Amino acid sequence: MKKLLVAAVAAMVLGGLAFSGFAQNATKEAMRKKLDYAQGVLEGLTLQEFDLAITNAVLLRDMSQTNAFSVLKNQDYLANATNFTRAVDGLLNAAKREDLQGATEAYTRVARTCVQCHEQFRRDQFVKAQEKALAK
Ligand code: HEC
């Protein structure tokens, strides 16, 4: 039973590695931009410059539409991407209403979706999560 578990985890890790090899080229550039835009949103919120927050949120949203990743047709990935888009929409709406509190909360939801998707799909984070699960 234990051997089976180890084999299953190994298969998952290897799968994750192969997956992220592809991921690396397809998304690296896009993700760097995502980080810039997310930072732009934070800047907009902290300075109460809603236009800046909105501009960057729109850019973030456009990226999730054109993300090279949708070609993967991985259901879990798509679910993560959908959550991300939804969170960005919430952020956009709140920023358009100039609702600082709401936009800040929406921003934290966006950040959570970044982290969630990464934990599941980014190579290093995926491997780390597997190791942690094994150690339990
Ligand atoms: C739907 C899944 C998903 C979401 C949502 C997501 N990412 Fe990523 N991200 C990935 C994957 C997969 C990689 C691995 C590709 C890579 O390492 O180049 C990655 C890589 C990165 C990298 C590393 C790029 C590099 O130079 O190596 C950064 C930075 C990053 N993401 C930032 C973000 C930020 C900020 C957000 C949220 C605003 C976000 N990501 C949301 C999937 C996602």
- Does residue 53 carry a pLDDT above 60? yes
The residue nearest atom 35 of ligand 1, judged by CA position, is: 35
Q: How much distance in Å is there from the Cα of 2 to the middle of ligand 1?
A: 33
Top mean pLDDT of 4-8, 23-27, 63-67, 95-99 is at: 95-99
Q: What is the pLDDT of residue 20?
A: 47
CA 35 / ligand 1 centre spacing (Å): 8
Give nearest CA residue, ligand 1 atom 6.
114
Domain range 27-121, its CATH number among 3.40.50.720, 1.20.120.10, 3.40.50.10800, 3.30.230.70: 1.20.120.10
Mean pLDDT score, 54-62: 94
Model confidence pLDDT, tens digit, residues 81-118: 899 999 999 999 999 999 999 999 999 999 999 999 88
Question: 17: pLDDT confidence band, cut at 50, 70 and 90?
Answer: very low
Share of the chain above pLDDT 90, in %: 48
In the structure, how many helices (H) and strands (E) does the chain have?
5, 0
Six token digits for residue 97? 């209403």
> Pocket residues for ligand 1 (CB within 6 Å)?
20, 23-24, 27-28, 31-32, 34-35, 38, 77, 80-81, 84, 110, 113-114, 117-118, 121-122
Transcribe 86-123 into DSSP letters: HHHHHHHHHHHTT-HHHHHHHHHHHHHHHHHHHHHHSH
> Best-predicted range by mean pLDDT among 12-16, 55-59, 81-85?
55-59
